[in-house]
Amino acid sequence: MPHAPVGSGEQAADPYLGMAIEAAETARGRTSPNPWVGAVVVAVDGRVFTGATEPPGERHAEIVALDAAEAASAITTTTTMITGVDAAGAVTADAAEAGGASEPAGEPATRPTVSAAEGSTLYVTLEPCSHTGRTPPCTERIIAAGVRRVVVALADPDPHVAGSGIRRLKEAGIAVELEKPTGAPARAVASGLAPYLKHRTTGLPWVVLKLAATLDGRIAAPDGSSRWITGEEARLDAHRLRALSDAVIVGAGTVRADDPELTVRTDPSPSRQPLRVVLGRVPESARVAPALEMQGDLREVIEELGRRGCLQVLVEGGARVAHDFHAAGLIDRYVVYLAPALFGGSDAKPMFDGPGVGSIGSVWRGRLVSVGRLGDDVKVELAPEGESAGHPDGSSQGGPLGVRSEDAV
């Protein structure tokens, strides 16, 4: 999914912006409600320093990169003493250095050190912030560091920023280049940041529906058994998708039937676990407890999760919940894992439990974002027609993902 929520299959034309985009993806899943941003500082001597957003309250990507530049050995200026004899036979001494002044003959050449950030170019995937939140404004640190030029892949739609970061840098005399929205770098960043961009422009999280089924579209046998429809690689990828999500939603029926934990179990362990949301009441002995119990209109559920700072929400089941989210038009990405298996009958449980459309003319059609193989299984990623490409697992290749929600525990 975009980024799904999101990564990108685009390659930035500028290699340094490409490096910044790659750095940003390393921060996915640990910055919410902040965006995952990458930054690259290129010093005047060609040295390169990268940074990615740290967890909330810690350093933004620009600061990480600038700290690395300023901590590195400073740019040195050298003075070479040249001695000779003039026409009158007197000994002379000249200083030869780039931009340096002559030193007295016979004295050691000393020059003040210069930070590697001084005069550098900063490449950043998203417009630097200019307001004080949990951290000071990035713009002021960029100015103080002596950065000469800033290249921005994408403007930040957050109302606290919305162009003010670029204006502040320009006011300070820094050359600022904003990539064209239709260019490869901007499209790549927009794809990777799709959950953040949706949240900042609508207040709603990016909603991903995860399904796993046999080739005949069934998620469980008539007796309810389903472990495992898909293989180990797909299930591991499902945990990675969970790790990139801020909340996981299941219905109370799934909790009663399967007693899932809905935690992320990867190696290494994630820095945080997603919020576990159950639509209905949670039995006291359920392994998912403690969980947020929610009921009512699904759009109101999503709105509340957006207010809580969730950028990406993963809907994992069961079939009734999947149907209701789909019917309400709330899904931004569909991630479907198909196993090379058949139940071979109509009595096995379908992916969606509820009434569908009445005729072929009303059938829902989406756009294929990616198709990839995970062991013996196939992962298919769909977007609603008219939506821009994006990837919930942070890549355009379809990554490795897994089984139906209640199974991937």
User: Active-site residues: which are they?
Assistant: 62
First to last CA, the chain: 21
CA neighbor of 14 nearest in space, from 184, 187, 194: 184
Cβ(53)–Cβ(45) below 8 Å: no
DSSP string, 30-71: SSTTS---EEEEE-TTS-EEEEEPPSTTS--HHHHHHHHHHH
Q: Helices H, strands E: what count in the chain?
A: 10, 17
In whole angstroms, what is the distance from residue 382 CA to residue 398 CA?
10
Rg (CA), the chain: 27
Place of tokens 């036979």: 89
- Distance between CA atoms of residues 326 and 332, nearest Å: 10
Instruction: Please report how the helices 194-202 and 184-192 are oriented relative to each other, as an axis angle in degrees rounded to 10.
Output: 80
Return d(Cα 143, Cα 241) in angstroms, integer. 38
Report whether 230 contacts 337 (CB < 8 A): yes
Element (DSSP H or E) covering residue 167:
helix 164-171
Q: Residue 391: which residues within 8 A CB-CB, separation 6 or more?
A: 1, 2, 3, 4, 5, 6, 7, 8, 9, 191, 192, 333, 369, 370, 381, 398, 399
Q: Sign of torsion, CA 285 286 291 292?
A: negative
Of 56, 30, 15, nearest in space to 243 by CA: 30
